[in-house]
Amino acid sequence: MWAIEVKDLMKRYRGNGFAAVDHISFSVESGEMFALLGPNGAGKTTAIKILTTLLKPTSGTAKVAGFDVGKDKDSVRKSIGIVFQEPSLDWRLTGRENLDFHARIYGIGREERERRLEEVLKLVELEDKADVVVDKYSGGMKRSLELARGFIHSPKVLFLDEPTLGLDTQTRRRIWDYIRELNDSEGVTIVLTTHHMEEADYLCERVGIMDRGKIIALETPKNLKDLIGSDLVSLEMNTGSYEVEVFKKLDFVTDFIAHEGFVTLKMERGDLRIPAIMEVAKLAGIEIKSVNLRKPSLEDVFLHFTGRRIRE
């Protein structure tokens, strides 16, 4: 059963004609963890706003929990939870009061409300901070509380827009664990947007890579990385005038990408090939600053499809 069905969805702004979402189609199964991965401005947040009824699409259709986002807005809103990219807590209230107020908006009765409050506070490990004013929370605690608030009413689909933006690595990992636990314990479908490669790779069963309003690849993280395959040897070069095409002539190089002072070479058994690569560079007068041998990542997938890194 599909939790989300998107067909030929488009959002074009009238003023400048810019297509923030450009004819995208995808589906998400019930209980699935799905990511829209891409750089800032790729169209991820616009797509989420359409799916959560905050924006009206220019064309195309989208259903969430079986309801059309244009025709059944109220039904969609009753079926979803949202954690926005920007903070939206009331910092003058305590954590418990924020959660209680949100649950009341969704019409949850007192007994059920109190039970859910304790459940979600325990899940995100905020029981001992529940009665502290949110203004005193750390960034990670605020994000954890927003996550708890997003699913206190037991939504069928939870949308997370850049859920760990601005958090340190340790806190980010903890939020990831909460998201996984939520998916496991409550069976809620989770759709997140992110520009963190490792976040999409660690959390999600499938990833849609977005760039310039389009979905350019859609698969499991493993299958996306298998598209690249083999080992990747990245060379960082000193600035200067030289011909990097010489690396293409190596018979063991199966793919070649040059990008702003770097060359990435795809090959089998890269650990054994580095001496030959360095010899070719020396003969061509290319000074190598660093060499990096690694397995493909989702960053490499993005580079493969777009010719640039996601952070650019």
Express each pLDDT in 222-271 by its tens digit.
Answer: 999 888 778 899 999 886 667 888 898 899 998 888 877 888 998 888 88
**Residue 312 pLDDT greater than 60, yes or no:** no
Q: What is the mean pLDDT of residues 90-96?
A: 96
Q: Which two tokens stand for residue 256?
A: 């070649």
Domains by residue range for the chain, with CATH: 2-224 (3.40.50.300), 230-295 (3.30.70.2470)
Share of the chain above pLDDT 90, in %: 68
Q: Which two tokens stand for residue 76?
A: 């969609």
Sheet holding 80-83, edge to edge: 80-83, 157-161, 189-194, 33-37, 206-211, 214-219
Strands 80-83 and 67-68: unpaired
- Give residues with Cβ within 8 angstroms of 267, minimum separation 6: 230, 231, 233, 250, 252, 253, 254, 273
Sign of CA dihedral 207, 209, 215, 221: negative
* Angstrom distances, CA of residue 51 to CA of 11, 145, 234, 236, 308: 12, 23, 39, 42, 28
Confidence of residue 15 (pLDDT cuts 50, 70, 90): confident
Share of the chain above pLDDT 70, in %: 98
Gap between the Cα atoms of 76 and 27, Å rounded = 16
Confidence of residue 311 (pLDDT cuts 50, 70, 90): low
Confidence of residue 167 (pLDDT cuts 50, 70, 90): confident
* DSSP state for residue 15 in the 8-state scheme: T
